[in-house]
């Protein structure tokens, strides 16, 4: 990777991800153990939700989160998806604490702290050539779309913000997005599923 690579693809961003995710996993491990124990007591196994998602350049990786839905097909992110079965799981989703296991994805290099959120693999052929640019970088734990409405904005705006991040981001952008994400934690805004992305008409 060249020294003059754009920030979203730079060595500096990757070093930041490694350093912060490693420390976060150590410092937050007691909290994650508690969350896992509560999920186990309330819903049984599995404690984690795993699903294949497209990462950088569309390469598949296994996303890992805390399980917050019940049923054999829980958390497939289908339109009108299932409702969390208890207040604790609703709290996890609203606060974003269900995403903490993704720190492992970040440490492994499959994700970054900031970038376009990893969506479903079946969406890949539905993107326009412009929207495909969202996969030029590692997907993120949070991103420009997440601090500008999250799932409350429609798909066109959401994907446009993803591409805007890829094309214009720098280290200051990442720090701003991370700070805005922290201020939004716990509000539960924009957590409703946006519905199926059916694609954008294009030539």
Give the model confidence (pLDDT) of 89-129 as tens digits.
888 988 889 999 999 999 999 999 999 999 999 999 999 99
pLDDT of residue 158: 92
pLDDT level of residue 151 (50, 70, 90 thresholds): low
Q: Are 113 and 177 in contact (CB under 8 A)?
A: no
Over residues 126-145, mean pLDDT: 94
* Band of residue 4 on the pLDDT scale cut at 50, 70, 90: low
70 vs 144, more confident: 144
pTM of the predicted model, to two decimals? Answer: 0.87
> What residues pair up with 112 in beta bridges, in sequence order?
140
Confidence of residue 5 (pLDDT cuts 50, 70, 90): low
pLDDT for position 80: 43
Tokens 């900031």 sit on residue: 114
* Pairing, β 60-66 against β 112-114: unpaired
How does pLDDT run across 26-72, given as a tens digit for each residue? 999 999 999 999 999 988 889 999 999 999 999 999 999 999 887 54
Going by pLDDT thresholds of 50, 70 and 90, the confidence category of residue 154 is: confident
For residues 64-79, one letter each, b for 16 or more C-beta atoms within 10 angstroms of the residue's C-beta and e for the rest, the string is: bbbbbbbeeebbeeee
Number of Cβ within 10 Å of residue 136's Cβ equals 17
Give one DSSP letter per residue of the chain, joined into a string: --TTS-GGGSHHHHHHHHHHHHHHHHHHHHHHHHHHHHHHHHH-S-SEEEEEEE-GGG-EEEEEEE----STTTT---TT-PPPSSHHHHHHHHHTGGGTTHHHHHHHTS-EEESPPP--GGGGGGS-TTGGGGGGS--EEE-TTTTTTGGGS-HHHHHHHHHHHHHH--HHHHHHHHHHHHHHTTS-TT-S-----------
Give the mean pLDDT of 151-175.
90
Please give the pLDDT value at position 69. 83
Predicted confidence at residue 109, as pLDDT, reads 96
Select the more confidently predicted residue: 36 or 188. 36
Mean pLDDT rounded to a whole number for the chain: 86
């Amino acid at each position: 990777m060249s020294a003059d690579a754009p920030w979203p693809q730079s060595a500096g961003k990757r070093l930041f991800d490694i350093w912060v995710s490693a420390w976060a996993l150590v410092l937050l491990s007691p909290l994650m153990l508690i969350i896992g124990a509560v999920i186990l007591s309330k819903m049984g196994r599995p404690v984690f939700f795993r699903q294949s998602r497209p990462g950088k350049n569309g390469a598949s990786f296994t996303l890992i989160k805390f399980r917050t839905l019940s049923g054999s097909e829980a958390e497939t992110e289908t339109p009108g998806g299932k409702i969390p079965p208890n207040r604790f799981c609703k709290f996890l989703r609203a606060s974003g604490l269900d995403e903490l296991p993704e720190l492992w994805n970040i440490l492994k290099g499959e994700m970054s702290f900031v970038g376009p959120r990893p969506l479903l693999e079946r969406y890949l052929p539905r993107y326009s050539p412009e929207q495909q640019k969202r996969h030029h970088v590692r997907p993120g734990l949070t991103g420009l779309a997440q601090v500008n409405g999250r799932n409350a904005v429609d798909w066109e705006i959401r994907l446009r913000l993803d591409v805007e991040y890829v094309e214009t981001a720098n280290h200051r952008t990442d720090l701003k997005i991370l700070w805005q994400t922290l201020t939004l934690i716990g509000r539960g805004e924009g957590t409703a599923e946006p519905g199926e992305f059916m694609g954008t008409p294009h030539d």
